[in-house]
Amino acid sequence: MRKVKAQEFYDFVAYCHSFYGEGELDDMGVSRAALRAACRLVTYRKDIPFDGDTMDREKVRDILESLGYGDQPRHRLRLAAFQQINRGEAS
């Protein structure tokens, strides 16, 4: 697994935001913080390579949908709980 550079991560977040951010192509009603956390989960997976491409963006979408964003009924995830999962503190 290669290490993802900070700029590459920021570019990937911007790329995902251009699809799923507020007022964008496929607005999912997601906050920037939740989007960054979902991107981080995809970026730092150890079982698959990260390329920052459409496949990775769709993995972010899948995570967000599983958390209730998007076409599913929108219910806000408590940011603190999502950050806890992102840090690997949840069981």
- Are the beta carbons of 56 and 12 closer than 8 angstroms? yes
Rounded-to-integer distance, Cα 53 and Cα 43, Å: 11
Q: What is the mean pLDDT of the chain?
A: 84
Is pLDDT at 57 greater than 80 in this prediction?
Answer: yes
Is pLDDT at 85 greater than 90 in this prediction?
Answer: no
Q: What pLDDT, in 10s, does the model give residues 5-46?
A: 999 999 999 999 999 988 888 888 899 999 999 999 999 888
Burial class (CB in 10 A: 0-12, 13-18, 19+), 39: buried
Domain layout of the chain by residue ranges: 6-86
Is this prediction's pTM over 0.85?
no
Rounded-to-integer distance, Cα 5 and Cα 91, Å: 28
Rounded-to-integer distance, Cα 9 and Cα 71, Å: 26
